Structure 1
Amino acid sequence: MFAALMLSLGIIFVAELGDKSQLMAMTYALRYRWWVVLSAILTATTLVHAASVFFGHFLGLSIPADLMSVLAGLSMLVFGLWTLRGDELDDEESARAGRVGASVFLAVMSSFMLAELGDKTMLATITLATNHDWVGVWIGSTIGMVAADALAIAVGRLLGKHLPERSIAIGAAVLFFAFAVWLLIEGLSDASPVLVATTVPVAVLITAAGTFWIRATHRRRGEAALDIGDDDPAARELH
């Protein structure tokens, strides 16, 4: 078991260096609390690698990677648009601020699970589980991936201390859109015509709806800022 643990830890850690999951971890770390991101990654990795060793050791079946990659790409597109919208809270949203941690945790966890299904690290874990102790592979692969993503989170937090909030938001959105394109191309390259014909209009619809949502939100915030200025005696004197 120990040999399988150390082997899978080393292989998965190296495989994660420069991978999209590590870049995603860095991106999330620019926007959210590091411990929420890391705990979500740990949960997602534990679940995905549990499925990997199950398929590799007990069933020997492959995961349909094209559909999972497309779903992950669409989710990255949504996250990119959400990031451009910004996280400024109105009165109603402020009342729900206590639930933000849970929503961020679920968002990060779900995006990592979708991104990892069918990814090379999952396939490597399946392969290792076919010939090695499955418990050792499960623990080692989970530790290896979380360690690599923790390294990326540390780098992301360090960068975030030296960048303005708006620059961080734009940079994170660009990375999310890059992940979306990457995953969609990966998923649609060998996909069936039906999946391609379904994915393209869905992606266009998400983009159009997200753009409208962003514009409406910014317009509302601009109007709210004007209302505050009108109610401020000092602001009225300036006019």
Structure 2
Amino acid sequence: MDAAVFFTTFGIIFLAELGDKTQLTAMALATRYPWKKIFIGIALAFAVLNVGAVALGKFLFAVLPIFWIKLVSGGLFLFFGISTLRGGDGDNDGEKGPASARGPMLTAFLMILLAELGDKTQLVTTSLAAQHESPLSVFAGSTLALWGVSLLGIFIGKQLMRVIPLGTIHRVAGVLFLVFGLVILYQTFTGP
């Protein structure tokens, strides 16, 4: 496992999801159901989503030249940075979807699976897997970051938002997306 890839992935995904619909959904579900059951459903959903994202990223890495992968990845980071700073990152934070009567684990699993399918963090995970030859590091970093954000949502999300305004969290995430996008593009045009 590549520690640099793991920590980079973890940091990007963790900050991108702070205060986002994942965390808000975890908070909302925790008010209705036992936290352990909610977390199991959320954890399983993110594991499934990240397996798909990493597999797609590795496929792209195998069939496309790295220059084009990095060019598109850098562009995606810039896009998500700008859209996050503008407040239109495509996330409908207020939409939680219908609650299922089938139990808390299934409810949490389905809500996260459907809400996050094709979300920016899944696309970023795919992009990182396409750039690096360490799919396990990308999978572990992304999955643990998403689990961590979900746990924060369950346990201390309300207190965090009292201390740090949601807008500030989104601005920091947006700036980080821009920085990573610029670094990737710089490396694409100046690297070997």
Q: Same fold (TM over 0.5)?
A: yes
Whether contact under 8 Å (2:45, 2:110) holds in the other structure is yes
Letter in 2 for 1:24: T
Q: Could you tell me which residue of structure 1 aligns to residue 104 of structure 2?
A: 104
For residue 137 of structure 1, report the CA deviation from its aligned partner: 0.2
- Alignment RMSD, CA only? 2.7
Please give the residue correspondences for 1:54-69 in structure 2 after superposition, counting only pairs within 5 Å.
54-59=55-60
Question: Counterparts of 1:122 and 1:45 in 2: how far apart (Å)?
Answer: 9
For residue 14 of structure 1, report the CA deviation from its aligned partner: 0.5
Q: Could you tell me which residue of structure 1 aligns to residue 186 of structure 2?
A: none
Question: Counterparts of 1:141 and 1:38 in 2: how far apart (Å)?
Answer: 16
Whether contact under 8 Å (2:22, 2:149) holds in the other structure is no
Question: Counterparts of 2:96 and 2:145 in 1: how far apart (Å)?
Answer: 24
Task: Label 1:136 to 1:77 Cα distance change in 2 as closer, same or farther (>3 A).
Answer: closer
Structure 1, unpaired ranges of 5+: 62-68, 83-99, 159-239
Matched, 1:27 2:47: no
Q: Could you tell me which residue of structure 1 aligns to residue 145 of structure 2?
A: 144
Using the size of structure 2 for normalisation, the TM-score is 0.60
Q: Could you tell me which residue of structure 2 aligns to residue 117 of structure 1?
A: 117
Q: Could you tell me which residue of structure 1 aligns to residue 39 of structure 2?
A: 38
Whether contact under 8 Å (2:42, 2:112) holds in the other structure is yes
Question: Counterparts of 1:136 and 1:41 in 2: how far apart (Å)?
Answer: 20
Of structures 1 and 2, the larger Rg is shown by 1
Whether contact under 8 Å (2:60, 2:130) holds in the other structure is no
* Aligned structure 1 segments of 4 or more residues deviating by more than 3 angstroms: none
Q: Could you tell me which residue of structure 1 aligns to residue 98 of structure 2?
A: 78
Q: Could you tell me which residue of structure 1 aligns to residue 66 of structure 2?
A: none
Whether contact under 8 Å (1:44, 1:112) holds in the other structure is yes
Question: Counterparts of 1:126 and 1:77 in 2: how far apart (Å)?
Answer: 25
Question: Counterparts of 2:45 and 2:36 in 1: how far apart (Å)?
Answer: 14
- 1:183-206: CA deviation from partner (whole Å, max 9, x where unpaired): xxxxxxxxxxxxxxxxxxxxxxxx
Aligned residues: 128
Structure 2, unpaired ranges of 5+: 64-89, 160-192
Q: Structure with the greater relative contact order (CA < 8 A, sep ≥ 6): 1 or 2?
A: 2
Which structure shows the higher helix fraction?
Answer: 1
Q: Could you tell me which residue of structure 2 aligns to residue 2 of structure 1?
A: 3
For residue 76 of structure 1, report the CA deviation from its aligned partner: 3.7
- 1:42-95: CA deviation from partner (whole Å, max 9, x where unpaired): 11111101100111111479xxxxxxx9xx99x94423xx7xxxxxxxxxxxxx
Question: Counterparts of 2:127 and 2:110 in 1: how far apart (Å)?
Answer: 24
